[in-house]
Amino acid sequence: MTQLPEPRDIAPRLATGAFILNSGLTLWRADEETAASVHGTATTAYPFLSALPAEQFTRLLAAAEIAVGGALLAPFVPTRLAGAALTGFAGGLVGLYLRLPGMRRPGSLRPTQSGLPLAKDVWMLGIGIGFLGARRRTDGRRCPCPGFLRGR
């Protein structure tokens, strides 16, 4: 039997899922110039990615975004699984922020004006980590606390 997400998880799943899915669908239709720009940024932070052609990398990134966004939006995907996907994806984005020159103020984690768009990805990482802590319900209870705290 498929278990639907907890009510507390629905809003962050919808918000992050829709955001990431939209990004993936937009990137899927990227032109050569956009693909070269996205690839160039990624290879600055992660040099091993230079082995992939720009168009192929951009398509793979778009597919990953579509998959992660779809997993977050699909109610039948367990929250912990969606959280694992979101944590991995957002971790890569936060790594991009930490590795790219000019994104942070010298000697600080605080973003520069240029780094602000990437620094915001820390929220997705936090949501993903929070989803990883979701407990699996085996007895149908919503509250994992002992019976005396539930009023029994």
Banded pLDDT at 3 (limits 50, 70, 90): confident
Would you state the pLDDT for residue 68?
A: 97
What's residue 150's pLDDT? 47
Angle subtended by helix axes 7-28 and 54-73, to nearest 10: 160
Q: Given pLDDT bands bounded at 50, 70 and 90, which one contains residue 134? A: confident
- Higher per-residue pLDDT: 15 or 146: 15
- The pTM for the full model equals 0.83
For residue 4, what pLDDT band results from cuts at 50, 70 and 90? confident
Report the distance separating Cα 15 and Cα 38, nearest Å.
23
Is residue 139's pLDDT more than 80?
no
Give pLDDT tens digits for 82-127.
999 999 999 999 999 999 999 999 999 999 999 998 888 899 999 9
Residue showing tokens 């990004």: 23
For residue 79, is pLDDT > 50?
yes
pLDDT above 70: residue 140? no
Contacts of 30 (CB under 8 A, 6+ apart): 38, 58, 62
Give yes or no for a contact between 134 and 79, defined as CB atoms under 8 angstroms apart. yes
Q: How far apart are CA 89 and CA 95, in angstroms?
A: 10
Task: Summarize pLDDT for 15-74 with one digit per residue, the tens.
Answer: 999 999 999 999 999 999 999 999 999 999 999 999 999 999 999 999 999 999 999 999
Burial class (CB in 10 A: 0-12, 13-18, 19+), 113: exposed
Amino acid at 134: A
Confidence at residue 89, expressed as pLDDT on a 0 to 100 scale: 96
